[in-house]
Chains A and B, each alone.
Chain A
């Protein structure tokens, strides 16, 4: 292979939330099967721009390097995706890397995604099992149902689905596809279903499911292939039935 082949990486950097953003270009030595994280590691080792100017190492997040932790979501060549599964050989050069714009910036490529976690709490996205005594095993779940739930449960809270959504921006509080999918997942669970009404009530609240206008970018962007539009419509049906008929049966 071409020895000494290099790749050009352009990174949008910002030292702190209050400082202005700027672009910096780096040149990185090419190696086989390189991913974008490998480029960032190289830059961290030798933080010098393409033009020889020393700079600070680029801050970024990554853990698993196999698309299961969700930490490394960034916008690469204009598309929001996981950096660890973005292979350099499949990307146009120069490779442009930006932080996601739907979340408050922390530094360089690091953003603060706690909005998703706060929304998950507000939407009661868990199965309540803690108590003062052992409540014993829950009901069994039919295999077909397990299969559906398994697909939904693979969400890694990366935030790509929020980043690509035209309804997630500073004018709207939309919680985003991932959170609506969580509502469906936990309402499907026999124990979780005990709180179905509370979740549905919350999902009709501020920034709730009504904000979705079906641009359906989420389902294309999800690295885990979660059927997000399906979840969305399913929760739409549940929330509507709960709103229309719920009060009669309570």
Chain B
């Protein structure tokens, strides 16, 4: 770099008066922020919805799936590195990003501006929800959560509504976050490409929301559409 700069200075005298680029660490941290939302957090979210869908098969299968996950080798380091640390990073750095932005919806109520504002709010709701959820289902149960534990929590209407809000917030934040990712990593450029990406990532968000709500439905109404698998 220094050699190049010197060469430029020779041909363009004004180059010497040009303010130098100010290096910033925030670039890499911001990129890691959007990446961490996809892997590992988004990937874990998909896995989590998948294994919780066993509630739609049978209580036994659900407990079996939980037990299998609870007895993986290196459980705590795996949880810490792939789940807790990324979520803490994503959450706290997200709040920091929030603090650098403002919302001006009242003046400029365009669609994408709404998505920007909702992304901030759903992120905050999701972070609080996940914190509570992990505390109740992971730590209060000593890491041995069963169908019964979750069903007991959901029997309380207050907690149940928190679950519904949490799942909707998480699904929105993930779906819209995928779209953000496609923009921020330059995976889509043109306006049409952006729009197509919005449809695809929106569909993914809706899919997560629907599956999440169906799982809740399974818990609350003992609805087991896939029970015949287990028979």
Contact = CB atoms under 8 A, between A and B. Distances in A.
A234 interface: yes
A66 interface: no
Interface in A174-217: 195, 198, 201-202, 204-217
User: 5 nearest interchain CB pairs?
Assistant: A237-B186, A202-B21, A216-B112, A215-B116, A210-B30
Contact of A214 (B12, B20, B106, B116): B116
B27 A208 contact: yes
Given A230-B189, A236-B185, A211 B11 contact: no
Given A79-B107, A118-B19, A217 B24 contact: no
B101 A214 contact: no
Contacts of B228: none
Nearest to A131: B11
Contact of A166 (B13, B23, B101, B188): B101
A46 interface: no
Contact of B185 (A198, A201, A237): A237
Contacts, number: 141
A227 B195 CA distance: 14
Interface residues of A, number: 51
B19 A121 contact: yes
A10 interface: no
Contacts of A164: 104, 107-108
Interface string B23-44: 1101110110000000000000
A43 to B, nearest CB: 24
Give the dominant DSSP class at B's interface: helix
A78 B108 CA distance: 9
B112 A215 contact: yes
25 contacts: A130-B11, A164-B104, A166-B102, A166-B113, A166-B116, A169-B100, A171-B100, A172-B100, A204-B27, A205-B21, A207-B24, A208-B27, A209-B27, A210-B24, A210-B26, A211-B100, A213-B180, A214-B112, A214-B115, A216-B110, A217-B110, A230-B189, A237-B189, A240-B185, A243-B27
Interface residues of B, number: 48
Interface in A218-244: 220-221, 227, 229-230, 232-241, 243
Contacts of B180: 213-214
B230 interface: no
A239 B28 CA distance: 11
Contacts of B108: 79, 164, 217, 220-221
Nearest to A123: B21
Contacts of A240: 31, 185-186
B11 A171 contact: no
A198 B183 contact: no
A109 B26 CA distance: 34
Interface in A109-142: 118, 121-124, 128, 130-132
Interface string B86-127: 000000000001011111101110101101110100000000
Given A210-B184, A214-B179, A238-B186, 6 more contacts: A171-B101, A205-B21, A210-B31, A211-B26, A212-B184, A216-B116
Contacts of B12: 128, 130-131
B31 A198 contact: no
A107 interface: no
